Amino acid sequence: MALVKDRRQLNLRLPLAELSERRPRFPLPLPPSSISSAATSSSSATTSATISLSDLEKIQVLGHGNGGTVYKVRHKRNSNIYALKVVHSDCDPINRRQIFREISILRRTDSPYVVKSHSVFEKPGGDVAILMEYMDRGTLENLIKSGVNFSEEILAKIAYQVVQGLEHLHSHKIIHRDLKPSNLLVNSEMEVKIADFGVSKIMCRTLDPCNSYVGTCAYMSPERFDPDTYGNNNDGSYNGYASDIWSLGLTLLELYLGHFPYLGEGQRPDWATLMCAICFGEPPSLPESVSKEFRSFIECCLQKDSSKRWKASQLLGHPFLQKVKRP
């Protein structure tokens, strides 16, 4: 597990950004809330209306990154626990734009498989904060680092929840673009929720193209590295929905193997190594001991030809997920 930790400390993010993500010349206002009363539960609406920053006390820091800090906080009156993501006013404008994108997307979603946002605050000094539900076991990446072994039964439960979350997002024309173990939150009940929508994209139309390289390159699909060869659109773009499915397949493989599947033990990753492995090599395979259902599920996700990858709605009917006990 130490080798996996070394790999993760490296920065595998690509700096290129699409036109819409260039630095703004002026401060951006908070995006308006677009969740209708039909899409938001009354309990969530009540929570949003009654909580203020003064009601919260910080317990500990959960993490840092992208110009901000995530805190574990407690409501002073009812002792409820939340996660508070704060992006500072002096952070990079690109990071600030990402937090506004995340706010906009969280306000569009209402799914038990996507992390819930309770409130959004903008401090007088310009800091922006999102109050979210707290997942007490952190991320699936934390579990990998701690040496947890994921059986096929557990992986099927994880896969079912993530696919449900993706199906919800995709049906609302939202592409995550950075699905990986560190962006999947988990609690002590092994409930898994998709989080971190800083580089996600809201598609204006169902067939809008994607042509951005944002995200973590280790989990990118072949067409994201080389859309001209693998994109199937003949215009230098790719199917963003299918790219999320590829990232799902790699994530499940990593959980099962305990290390990133494209790299040998002790191998230090770099952009060129990953790009060559993903674009020119065969998709990583599973040991012979796995079930045919699990092998088939991974193969449905890791088709290099994006047009052959199953959609989230199709994966929900895959035999690998049929034995999962539904809520």
Sequence spans of domains, the chain: 53-132, 138-323
Residue 5, pLDDT above cutoff 60:
no
Residue 2, pLDDT above cutoff 60:
no
d(CA 62, CA 277): 34
Residue 286, pLDDT above cutoff 70:
yes
pLDDT for the residue 110: 92
Residue 288, pLDDT above cutoff 70:
yes
pLDDT for the residue 20: 38
pLDDT for the residue 271: 75
178 is catalytic: yes
d(CA 232, CA 303): 13
Phi, psi of 76 (to 5 degrees): -65, -30
CATH topology of domain 53-132: Phosphorylase Kinase; domain 1 (3.30.200)
Angle of helix 152-171 relative to helix 292-301, nearest 10 degrees, comes to 30
Over residues 270-279, mean pLDDT: 82
d(CA 107, CA 118): 9
Confidence of residue 265 (pLDDT cuts 50, 70, 90): low
Distant-in-sequence, close-in-space partners of 261: CB < 8 Å, separation ≥ 6: 250, 253, 254, 284
pLDDT for the residue 43: 37
User: Lowest-confidence range among 2-6, 80-84, 304-308?
Assistant: 2-6
Residue 41, pLDDT above cutoff 70:
no
d(CA 90, CA 44): 31
pLDDT for the residue 206: 34
Confidence of residue 123 (pLDDT cuts 50, 70, 90): confident
Residue 242, pLDDT above cutoff 70:
yes
For 96, 160, 200, 264, the CA distances from 213, given in Å and listed in that order, are 19, 27, 11, 25
pLDDT for the residue 107: 86
Q: What is the pLDDT of residues 222-233, one digit of tens each?
A: 888 777 766 665
Residue 263, pLDDT above cutoff 80:
no
Residue 216, pLDDT above cutoff 60:
yes
Could you say which of 55, 178, 196, 228 is catalytic?
A: 178
CATH superfamily of this structure's domain 138-323: Transferase(Phosphotransferase) domain 1 (1.10.510.10)
pLDDT for the residue 105: 87
Residue 95, pLDDT above cutoff 70:
yes
pLDDT for the residue 193: 97
Q: Which residue has the higher pLDDT, 234 or 34?
A: 234
d(CA 83, CA 133): 6
Confidence of residue 101 (pLDDT cuts 50, 70, 90): confident
Q: Taking all residues of the chain, what is their mean pLDDT, rounded to a whole number?
A: 79
